[in-house]
Each structure stands twice: as C-alpha cells, then as structure tokens.
A and B are shown apart, each in its own frame.
Chain A
C-alpha cells in the first residue's frame, strides 16, 4: 500500500468513527434514559470522537509526507482540514462545558462537510508556483482553524434554536429553521447523488460551440440541464433538453448548475420524505429530545466560540493572508473576491461581538447571528471558490 492509500484509509476510518460517535452522543439525550447510561455513553462518545480525530490527524500527516507539501492546497484537502478543525474545536469546547448534546450536532455536520469535500478531486496535485511558500501552511491552516471554531457557534446556535423556537405555532422563526434543516438535507443529498452516479461510472458528453471553438463537456450526473448552446454527443444518454441560460458561459457552468439542481431536488425528496414520516416540522421532531438541556450554557458556547475563533480568524485570514499576498504579489490587499469575503466574515463577527457585548443581543438573536455567520463562511468556501473565480480559485 502506498502512502496515499494509507492516508485515504485513515480519513475513511475517521469518517466511520464520527458516525459511531454520533450514535453514542444520541444515547446521551432524551428523558427516559437513566443517568448512569447517559454518563457512560457520553464517555464512550467523546473517546470515539477523539479516536476519530486521531485517525483524521493521521490522514493529514501521512498525506503531507506523500505529497511533500501541507495538504491544504485544493478544495478536497482544505475541506478535510476544516472538518478536522471543527472536530478539534468541538473537543475543546466539550472539555470546557461538558455539553454532550453539542456532539450530536457537531459530528454530523463535520461528517457532511468531510463528505462534501470528498466529492472534489482527491488526487495529490502538485503546487503551482504561486502556492510554493511556507505561508501556505501558516495562512491556510490558521484561517481554517479560525473558521472552524467560529462554526462551533453555529452548531451551538442550531441546538439553541431547535430547543428554543416555539414549535406550537408556525412563525418566521420556524420557517427559517426549516430552511436551515433543508440545506443540511440538500448537502446530504448532494453527497448521496454524486457518490451513487460515481459508483455507476455515469458519464455523458456534450459538445459546446463557443466563440467559434468547439469543446467537449463531461457530465457525471444525468443532464437535467444542458450546457448553453450544446449538443448531446453520448448516444442514448439521458437529457431533458433544457439548456442553461446564456450568461452561464464558464467552462463548467452548465455542469455546476446541473449538480446544484440535482442536489436541491434530491434534497427536497429527502426532506419531504422525512416530513411525511415525522408528520411535523423536522426541528419540532427533534425539540422534545432537547428538553433537558441548559440553554444558558448553550448560549454561552455560542458566544465563547466566537470569542475564541475571532482572533484566530483575524490572524489567519487577514494578517497572515496579507503578509503572504505581499510576498507573492507585492500587494497585501487587492480586493480579490476571496479577500473581500474574508473581510465580510470578519466584519460580520465584529458586529456579532458588538451586538452581544454592547447591545445585549443574547439568546435567540445571538443564535440566529451564528447561523448567518456560518452561511457567510460557507459562501466564502463554496460560492467564492466555485463561482466567483479569483486568485484563490485553485480548486
């Protein structure tokens, strides 16, 4: 077995361990269970989480050896690292606050994040000259760690909202909470759909004519929407015949839109089925399980993770980033989309802290802000990298 395979196996092991850990965290909640069972299963759960983290760390170190550079140089590697730091952030917060219910949410979210990242090319790719700097490991790891700690506040915020939002009547709050739930389902759907068709080796090819040149475009999911002004080349392959709008001309615009539609549709199906089975809002179904939790503590975690993560994020995503940009391009700040979104994230959490400490925004308000903050981090990770191509679009 070569190093690459060994490291991939470790990542897979981490993935499985996190799944098992989630089950044990699940056993720590609810009213009926006995106290000693709860405390025993929370011990097992956190041990498995730490074991998973160790496997995850082994993946990281071995891959570093295999490639000769810090494995944070493309989407897959970055997201895998981000997931690892999310788990680390959770472990730290767990030992400060001993809040097991957080694990029940942090682990599945980390699993989804790692799964999402694994849908990108996983091969070890060489470093282009602009990435050949020791700042790669310093800047990217610090920034990712900061973002991961900030994301813990989202996990806590989600727990808080599910436990707190009044589910007896339909309101703006219940609707938004269901929208958050839907996106979690859609992420899972994306992973399921992509993996399924990947296992089937599905492929169809379109030829697209653009600016008098003809090129082939590969699809790995059945075409719900074709690239703009294109012809299906693979005989007998499925296509609805609908075309992407004209302004989507990027190399992979059509294929990305197709994947997005697949994820949303499959997400709807998954979410819809769940709603049918539960016969109530998803958050409303989870709420009774969380009746015993200490909301003040969760509220404190929302704030603490921002307080811990904010300086780390500033250091990694703004200060180290600027120093590297100065080394590489001779300008420490250039309003590149990724830079702008790092600034947006920073401004947002600065506002969060001012509102919390200066204007007394606690509880639900803070929790909603934590959800919005995570949305901004995800926009920075996904939308900026995949759609707003800039200097950082290495993926």
Chain B
C-alpha cells in the first residue's frame, strides 16, 4: 500500500487528508473532503483515510463506496419509510377481517385504488421480496459505512499529537490569535480545562485538551445494535428459534399443545369473562354512552400437563401436571420455554349439557338424562326399565336440500332426535332444537321436559416459543447505549499553538457548537487569551 510521509515524520495511509499526527493537510488529497474549496477544514472524520474515498477502481471498490455513502444510506431510509407508510393505506391482508378473498376484498371495499393496492402486492407489503431487500440493503449499508469510518477515525484520534500544524489550527471553525500570552495565562487555561474534565496533553508548549472522545463511537455502537436486531430477525425464521400456533380449548377440555411434538397438553378448567359495573362511580359517565358492556377481564384458568413416558400409539398418554395458572390478556402463562397467550374467545357459544326429564303415562318421574354433545354416549338407562336412545345428532343444525344436516362439528346449535323406550315396548320419538322439544310420534303418552342447558366458552390461545427475544433485547440495549453515547455527549477539543510571539487558539466539536462556545468562554476566563471567533460562513 502506498504510504504518505508528512513533514512531521508521521507515515500516513494512502488517502489521508489531514496528517494523523500533526493535522497538516496532505496536498494531493484535499479534494476528497472538499478542503480545497473551503476556508475551513472538513473535520468530519478528522481527515482520515477512508477506503471508500481512496480506492475507486474495481467493482468491489465501487460497491464499497456505494454502500458507505451517507447519501445512499439516507435514500435507503427514505425509500423504506415511504414503502412502510404506503402499506398502511389499506389494511394488510392479515388485518382485513373479511371472509372475502383478497382478490375481491380490496376492489369491493376500496374501489379502483384498492384493486391497484392488491395488484401491486401491497396487501402483503412487509413480507414482499422488495421490502425485505430494502431492509437488507440498509443492513449492508450499516456494516460497510461503519467499517469504512470507524477504523481510520480510531487511528487518527489515537495518533493525534498535541503539536499541530499551524494551518490545521488556523482552519478550525473556532479560532483566535493573541499576542503577549504569559505562562500564567497558560497555567490558568490548563487549570480551567482540567476543572471541566478535559484531558490535557502538552508537547513543546503546545496544548491539546480533549473530552468525551468516547462519544465519537456512539454511531458505530448503535449501528452494531441495529445489525444485531437484523440478525435476530433472520434467526427468528428458523423453527428452533421461534414457533407459533393457535389452539381453541373449550371449558373442561384438554388439548394437545401444538408445536410441542405432542409433548404437552393444556386443559381449560374454567373461563372467566367479566364486565365493568355500569354503576361504578368512577366510570359511570363514560359507560352511560356505551351500548354494550365494556369487558374488564378475559381469563382462562389453565392446567398444563407433560406426557410422562413414551406414548404407545392407540393408548391414552399418561400426563403429569407441569404448571397451572390464569391466562389473561397481558399475563401469559409460561412453561418450559413456551408461553400461552389469551388471544380469542367464543363466549358461551357451545352447549356442554342439555338436560331432560321424563315422565311416564301415569305422570310418574322415570328419571333425567343429560345429553353431552362432546361425550360419545348415545344410550341412557332410566328408572323402571325405561331408556333413551339418541338416534340422530346435528351439532350445528341446518336444513339443506338433502334434509337436516350440520354446518359444523361444534355444538353451537344442536339438533337431537331421540327415542324414549318404555318397559313394555312402547316407544316415542322426539326432536330437540333451540331449547324446544317437538314430539314426532302421534299418540303421545310420555312427557318430556327440557330442564336445563349449560353453555361453555371456547378460549383461543396462542402458543409461542421465541428464543430470539434475548437477541433482540441485547440489540436494542446496545442501540440505546450507542445513541445516548453519541447524542448526549459531545467530543470537544481545543488546541493552543504558540508561534513566534503569538498564540493561536482553536476549538472543535463534532456537534453542539453552542455548548463548546460557552465552555471555551469559561475556560478562557481570567486569561489574556482572546475569545474564539466563529469562522464558519453563515448559511
């Protein structure tokens, strides 16, 4: 690699704009940071040699230069931002809440613009290849621009010497010249700077005072945090890191927990639904305007079991309780790396029991029978030799062209046809639907009454396992440390440069010039050194 030797003796890397040690502009490289056109030196990266600005020949060089450019980075951010915003114009497919297929939904609901939205694939925008590509490009840009800058900047700050070249000092934004500065002034200045927690270094009467250099690493730290977050989202695509499924469990029911390889079972012992009291003093004003009750709690009392030994096919597995608890919104139940979230409810939507009582022709009670749709029992023995046989059962009754039928397997509106058989061979048929009993046989002798019905709630649980969460959290914490470090602290430097009978004084900060100006004012208090001028051209 070509090296450039400065007159101060320091050997710089190719492409260095300002000597790392003394800051003297290296003549042939001034165009890189536009120093040839400006009065002030560009101090962005302390004039260090960045690969993107130095090598521009091969494809690799060009790609590197492309991704390390701030302009490209901002464009990528802007494109992602606009794309993300466009996706909220109409609901994404997952939120459309309609039975219509997407190909019809968007056009029917939103007209021609909806149709275009759908045809452009915007209904699944955030999982589209081009949106993911945009985010990936930002990721590449983050890595390349960080490496491009952090290494040379680190080198430049490490190699800087208190003794700077005169041109470097004169071409800083904050600058002053003073004649007749005494040693006492110098001592006072050093003391003042030390009081403000500057680290002061001296060389041949030259002074460099510096504070909060670590703030310069903030951007790179936060970029690392973002990269970790992007890596975490890639990891999350694999099953060993993240699984998700949904299960409906009825009250009293025990179900296999999906995604657990049949290893776990969950029982819904009871579902609790509560609403706010309309007479509650605090809320009665607001509740007066509500047409429906405002829910205050959705809760599943659940028990989780684990299969004890290896399951023999065809046999009921032996279960062992792992944990039990209340699953509420905002309070998932956690077990062995899995979490169960309260995600849905079908309130009192299915029949658990329908109870009948039967009297014989003498009006004597011959017993009750409880029909349980979910229990596979179709014959019920009563007293005195009477029995009941369920001949037909339709969980969700409907009449189609082919006669009675069921629109689902769930007992939401059960239709039951049953026979009541007496000891002497007399038999009658009845039809139950909608809390009503119709006798199907003529010459009715028995008396069948509906006693009670019991409705149950189905609870919808999301079952999650997500080992990528800690990775995201680490990324987020590193990001926060990085932004705080970079934005809440400022890297400040001042130089004192004696030359002949004059003393040059200059200051630089990467941001918050107002703060630096105040601090210099305080540091110069009690000395003969002139306050710095802001040499920046007004914009």
Contact = CB atoms under 8 A, between A and B. Distances in A.
Contacts of B286: 121, 123-126
A128 B469 CA distance: 27
B88 A340 contact: yes
A259 interface: no
A363 interface: yes
A286 interface: no
B109 interface: yes
Given A126-B296, A341-B85, A355-B74, A311 B80 contact: no
B47 interface: no
B320 interface: no
Nearest to A134: B330
Nearest to A383: B88
A390 B77 contact: no
B330 A121 contact: no
A335 to B, nearest CB: 5
A34 B46 CA distance: 46
A307 interface: yes
B297 A129 contact: yes
Interface in A253-275: none
B487 A362 contact: no
Interface in A314-360: 314-315, 318-319, 322, 326-332, 335-337, 340-341, 343-344, 347-348, 350-351, 353-355, 357-359
Given A67-B282, A125-B283, A247-B109, A329 B74 contact: no
A388 interface: yes
A351 B77 contact: yes
Contacts of B44: 358
A130 interface: yes
A310 interface: yes
Interface stretch (B159-167, B374-382, B509-517): B509-517
B480 A347 contact: no
B469 A129 contact: no
Interface stretch (A17-25, A51-59, A106-114, A297-305): A297-305
A139 to B, nearest CB: 12
Given A332-B469, A343-B84, A357-B511, A132 B339 contact: no
A308 interface: yes
Contacts of B328: 129
- Of the four ranges (under 10, 10 to 19, 20 to 34, 35 or more), the interface on chain B belongs to 35 or more
Nearest to B276: A126
Nearest to A311: B483
B247 interface: no
Contacts of B330: 129-130, 132-133, 135, 327-328
Given A327-B332, A328-B330, A390 B95 contact: yes
A286 B88 CA distance: 38
Contacts of A330: 244, 332, 339, 341, 343, 462, 464
A343 B126 CA distance: 12
A68 interface: yes
B289 interface: yes
Contacts of B298: 129
Contacts of A357: 510-511
Given A300-B514, A303-B511, A347 B80 contact: yes
Contacts of B513: 300
B151 interface: no
Q: Among the interface residues A308, A353, A364, which one has the most CB atoms of the partner chain B within 10 A?
A: A353
Interface SS of chain A: helix
Interface string A102-146: 000000000000000000010111111110110100000000000
Q: Among the interface residues A125, A129, A307, which one has the most CB atoms of the partner chain B within 10 A?
A: A129
A66 interface: yes
A381 interface: no
Contact of B539 (A130, A340, A351, A362): A362
Interface residues of A, number: 61
Interface string B445-475: 0000000000000000010100001001000
B295 interface: yes
B285 interface: yes
B479 interface: yes
A359 B71 contact: yes
A314 B295 CA distance: 32
Nearest to B284: A123
A133 B524 CA distance: 53
A248 to B, nearest CB: 11
Interface string B71-101: 1011001101100110110011011000000
B341 A97 contact: no
A311 B85 contact: no
Contacts of A303: 511
A384 interface: yes
B68 to A, nearest CB: 11
B476 interface: yes
Interface in B486-525: 487-488, 510-514
B484 A311 contact: yes
Contact of B282 (A124, A133, A327, A332): A124
A351 B70 contact: no
A330 B342 CA distance: 9
A332 B472 contact: yes
B433 interface: no
Nearest to A345: B81
Interface of B: 44, 70-71, 73-74, 77-78, 80-81, 84-85, 87-88, 91-92, 94-95, 109-111, 126, 244, 276, 280, 282-283, 285-287, 289, 294-298, 328-332, 339, 341, 343, 462, 464, 469, 472, 476, 479-480, 483-484, 487-488, 510-514, 534, 538-539
Interface of A: 66-68, 97, 121, 123-130, 132-133, 135, 247, 296-297, 300, 303-304, 307-308, 310-311, 314-315, 318-319, 322, 326-332, 335-337, 340-341, 343-344, 347-348, 350-351, 353-355, 357-359, 362-364, 384, 388, 390
Given A125-B286, A329-B343, A344-B84, 7 more contacts: A123-B289, A125-B287, A129-B328, A311-B483, A351-B74, A351-B81, A390-B91
